[in-house]
Amino acid sequence: MSEALDQVVERALTDKAFRTLLFKDLDRALEGYSISDEERALLENLDEENFDQFAGGLGSRTTKGFMPGTG
């Protein structure tokens, strides 16, 4: 999984507006992120109900080094 996808997941976990955008307008949400076609397909298949389960499966990868003092 790419660093860009990790960043998208972490942002969706911490930024409610971004999370909403991710599920309503994936194209806009992913602007500026270098996401592969495979990763994009993975995100397209997630919804708000299974997103947290997916993110939890990533473990500490999603928070490592994301914010000063947290990684």
pLDDT tens column, 16-57? 999 999 999 999 999 999 999 999 999 999 988 889 888 887
Q: What is the pLDDT of residue 6?
A: 92
Provide the Cα torsion 49, 15, 29, 31; round to 10°: -150
- One-character DSSP codes across 4-18: HHHHHHHHHHH-HHH
Give yes or no for residue 63 having a pLDDT over 60.
Answer: no
Task: Report DSSP state, residue 68.
Answer: T
Q: Which of 48, 36, 53, 32 is nearest to 1 (CA)?
A: 36
For position 59, what pLDDT does the model report?
Answer: 62
Confidence class for position 62, pLDDT limits 50, 70, 90:
very low
User: What span, in angstroms and rounded, lies between the C-alpha atoms of 57 and 10?
Assistant: 12
